Structure 1
Amino acid sequence: MKREHSPSDGVDRKSHDMHTPHRSGRPPGNCNRFPGPYYLDSGGDEDNLEVVGLNEFVHVRCHFASPQACPCGRYACHLDSMIVAVDGACPGNGSDLAVRSACGVYFGPEDDDDFNLRNMALRVPDEPGMSHTSQRAELWAAVAALWASDKYAESGGQWPCEVPEGCKAPCRLSHLVIKSDSAYLVNSMTGAINKWKTNGWLTTKKTPVANRDLWELLLKRVAYLDKLGVTVDWWLVPRKENEEADGLANAGLCRKSLALRDIFSVFQD
């Protein structure tokens, strides 16, 4: 879906301007599909959901934004939102050739001389008793995205707020959208996972849920962000609309395999 760059104009938070970037606050619910009724019932444009902001993060386009950009190219977006794309890669998935996997996390465009790197291409660690699969790689990517987003929920940084001159406090994250081409990930996080928990982590066929360890880790990360006042939604897109994260995941295959403790230290930096 098309992404438009927002301008560098100031933000009037007292009015809901159709072109000016502004804070939106936390959407209702948690772990819902994006875009949901909250967005679409307000007239949100389903074909233009992403806006690249001043710090090169991808934000949710305001659901009250004008359907057409003004002459200066402006689209209103939510400063306190982020859309983070994730993907996994596992050559030879489902066969004996699947001996490595990796995940990609895409926060937004980066220049070659960008010293504030945030996009991630990570090799999935070799875990005792666990096989490398594309599904586990996709879940690892989502874990990485949630973990790396903590700091924006805690102290902001996804939008260049001037404190205290322009803002009383940093513009902290309140709406995180995880974008993925994995129906397995999105369908599970927006529905099936609640049934699994209720059933003692058993499927409808009374068999153990696969990858339970990572599902539980995802739930812990969502719960932590919830305590910080962040709604996490999940967006299923076609593979062709997730090329940036896909490229990062494939790049991660060439990285050195990390231990779990090293993976988590990357998120905390």
Structure 2
Amino acid sequence: MSGKTSHSFHYKESYPSSVKRVITNEIFLHSSDTPESLFPSSLSKVDTQSRFRHRDDISKCLIYTHSACAHNGRFNAHAACSFVFSPDRNRGTVSFPLERRGPSGERHRITNNRASLRAVIGALQYKEWNKDSIETIVIGSSSSYVVWGATQWVRTWTQNGWKTSEGNDVLNQDLWMCLLKEFEHWSNIGVAVEFLLVPEKSGGVMHQRAKIAACATAAEGEVPDDFEMVTESP
């Protein structure tokens, strides 16, 4: 688990200065690969704990993300978010309940899509990944909403004034804008963010660990009110 600290987030500041510059890419698995074979657990000379580093490029690290939601979208819904960045059971898995309010301070319905997106934001904000000699953060998610939204759809949304192709308001706009701001933050310090669509049924042990962590936290039924930044405990 992680510590939490209050985080002031201003909605007007959440829009990146250059959307095109910070849009990320999706990476794909070859038919013979799995997330675990492409990003095996390893302990390099720069690591204090094992990471999931790319087998051909140790500057690329995978973080598994997941979510769980009970009573999706209903008035009594509660959800949780999780991510796994190391096989270390004590320090490598983080989970937290989804807040009622978003980074702009507005209240939102609790949904699984929202929790999946929030998990990614939590993972990116958790620590200064660049200090672990990471040049590319690869977010692993089984949510096509998250992966395709971050790598494809958000381009159109921003061009259309946050409207879908049908002319409707984009759902979870506050979290998408927060995520774009995270992309910009990492881009400014030379760290790329990429996405990997993880097969739900064959995502491997660490993907399942993220799922179990999210389910366990969601089962507690907690729904915090305020959005808070999830950070590594000292």
Bin of the TM-score, shorter chain as denominator length: 0.7 to 0.9
> Which consecutive unaligned segments of at least 5 residues does structure 2 have?
1-21, 44-48
Pairing partner for 1:101 from 54, 67, 79? 79
The count of corresponding residues between Structure 1 and Structure 2 is: 197
Q: Distance in 2 between matches of 1:189 and 1:268?
A: 28
Partner of residue 58, structure 1: 52
Q: Distance in 2 between matches of 1:259 and 1:129?
A: 8
Partner of residue 100, structure 2: 126
> Which consecutive unaligned segments of at least 5 residues does structure 1 have?
1-28, 63-77, 157-171
Partner of residue 84, structure 1: 63
- 2:144 aligned with 1:183, yes or no? yes
Shift of 1:46: 3.3
Q: Distance in 1 between matches of 2:79 and 2:111?
A: 7
- 2:168 aligned with 1:207, yes or no? yes
Shift of 1:59: 1.1
Query: Quick check: 1:108–1:119 contact (8 Å CA) kept in 2?
Result: yes
Q: Distance in 1 between matches of 2:76 and 2:135?
A: 41
What does 1:1-269 correspond to in 2, within 5 Å?
31-35=24-28, 46-47=33-34, 48-54=37-43, 55-62=49-56, 78-98=57-77, 100-111=78-89, 114=90, 117-127=91-101, 128-148=106-126, 150-153=127-130, 155-156=131-132, 172-240=133-201, 241=203, 242-253=207-218, 254=220, 256-260=222-226, 263-264=228-229, 266=231
Post-superposition Cα deviations, 1:70-101, rounded to whole Å, max 9, x if no partner, equal xxxxxxxx332210011111111133442x11
Q: Distance in 2 between matches of 1:92 and 1:34?
A: 32
- 1:92–1:259 CA distance, 2 compared to 1 (3 A): closer
Going by fraction, where is strand more abundant, 1 or 2?
Answer: 2
Q: Distance in 2 between matches of 1:209 and 1:33?
A: 21
Shift of 1:230: 1.0
Post-superposition Cα deviations, 1:99-151, rounded to whole Å, max 9, x if no partner, equal x111011112124xx4xx24211011122531110000001001001112x41
- 1:268–1:110 CA distance, 2 compared to 1 (3 A): closer
Instruction: Give 3-state SS (helix, strand or coil) of 1:122's partner.
Output: strand
Instruction: Give 3-state SS (helix, strand or coil) of 2:95's partner.
Output: strand
Instruction: Give 3-state SS (helix, strand or coil) of 1:61's partner.
Output: coil
Query: Quick check: 2:68–2:81 contact (8 Å CA) kept in 1?
Result: yes
Higher relative contact order (CA 8 A, sep 6+): 2
| Percent identity of paired positions between Structure 1 and Structure 2 | 25
- 1:120–1:265 CA distance, 2 compared to 1 (3 A): closer
Shift of 1:260: 3.6
TM-score, with length taken from structure 2: 0.76
Letter in 2 for 1:121: S
- 1:58–1:96 CA distance, 2 compared to 1 (3 A): same
Q: What's the RMSD between the two structures over aligned residues? A: 2.4
Q: Distance in 1 between matches of 2:111 and 2:148?
A: 18
Q: Distance in 1 between matches of 2:50 and 2:225?
A: 30
- 1:258–1:267 CA distance, 2 compared to 1 (3 A): farther
